[in-house]
Amino acid sequence: MLNNTSLFKTIYPIIALSFLIFGFGHSALAQNNPPIPNQASQISATPQPPQINASSYILMDFHSGHVLASSNPDLQVEPASITKMMTAYVVFSEIKSGNLSLNEMITVSEKAWRTGGSKMFIEVDKQVKVEDLIRGMIVQSGNDACVALAEHIAGSEEVFANMMTQHAKKIGMNNSYFLNATGLPAEGHLVTANDVAKLGKALISEFPDLYHFYSEKEFTFNKIKQHNRNTLLYRDPTVDGFKTGHTEAAGYCLATSAMRNGMRLINVIMGTESEKARADETQKLINYGFRFFETHKLYRAGEQQVQPEIWKGAEENISLGLAEDLFITIPKGTYEQLKANVDIPGLLTAPIQQGTQLGTLNIMLNDQAVMQKPLVALQTAEQAGWWSRSMDGIGLWFKSFGDDD
């Protein structure tokens, strides 16, 4: 005969699940992120992005990864000196892993000294500190600095270029291929605006202690002062990186990041007609993004969102949450229209390992799904003892009859 405890456990999950799915979303969103008052009626529709004269571009929110505007973002193009962002990524990775230090001295080879294009003016057989070479590479766009760093890290620039492509694949730059550390023209040396935006995001998120090099406006080496070619560093105080590029084939290119009121945007523009054009067109896109969109952190990683009941477990419930922080970028003035709900299987049975996906968190805007994230177990749920498992088994058996219709 089914006792009262088993009967309650049979009926309760159905009631609890219905509450979680239909009642959780709005209250959880309101509790974690208070609505922005008096915004909903200010902007009724988001206008189209400005017209941009470039071969390709992308405007992306750093935190959410949401693309706010783009044109031909996956078009493969020559990157020119934007290549140096990937060179910096490899150099920063070596520093982070302990294989290289900022104070380490590098002996300049003749090849590095002879490399054409923009220079920081290092001298053959002289020793230069890694930190100075990084500034020479980023601020002065020195090709000689890039080759010196590449040879020191990998033995040759060719091997270093292989490392660049390997690192690129790891961060999702699936349409980019690197043949040198400088960006000097080479057949097959290609990137996309989308890939460069991913690279910019990785540089900021993985190397917060080294990103500051990109905001430096000038650097003096060997008594020669050179200014950062990213003119937006001087024009817009919210811009704090990245890199310019120019060759005859690539045109004038610019990858930029800017932050206003905690919202960070990454913009990549390829193939404009002049230095002024790349800065002006970038400024248009950045202003558009900040004017018409807003980004919110809705939930923190590891924070309990729901606590459904589990069967045959040592504990009655299991906590579910997100493995990563959840950010969302939405049109300004629409925050109050956000809702959230969860989809969870009808029956959860122990054992369950921590990190197992057990459901989905759905973010809705004006009743349309705009984001879905997996809900995972925040702790391991061990099996209960023999008696409790047996009682739950009986309850599940009786419940199966009620589910036949």
CA 344 to chain centre: 27
- At 363, which helix (H) or strand (E)? strand 357-365
Options 6, 56, 64, 81, the catalytic residue: 81
Question: Which residue in 6, 9, 56, 84 is the catalytic one?
Answer: 84
256 backbone dihedrals φ, ψ, rounded to 5°: -140, 150
> Rg of the Cα trace of the chain?
27
Active-site position among 141, 176, 257, 319? 141
> How many Å from the N-terminal Cα to the C-terminal Cα in the chain?
23
Cα–Cα distances in Å, from 390 out to 158, 225, 313, 397?
65, 79, 11, 10
Q: How far apart are CA 343 and CA 359, in angstroms?
A: 5
* 84 contacts 138 by C-beta, under 8 angstroms: yes
Q: In the annotation, is 141 catalytic?
A: yes
> Angle, nearest 10°, between helix axes 83-96 and 143-154?
40
71 tagged catalytic: no
Between the CA of residue 159 and those of 151, 205, 368, what are the distances in Å? Answer: 9, 26, 48
Cis bond leading into 50, ω under 30°? Answer: no
CB proximity list for 111: less than 8 A, separation 6 or greater: 147, 151, 157
In this structure, are strands 224-227 and 368-377 parallel, antiparallel, or unpaired? Answer: unpaired
The verdict on whether 81 is a catalytic residue reads yes
| 36 touches 265 (CB < 8 A) | no
Residues with a known catalytic role: 81, 84, 141
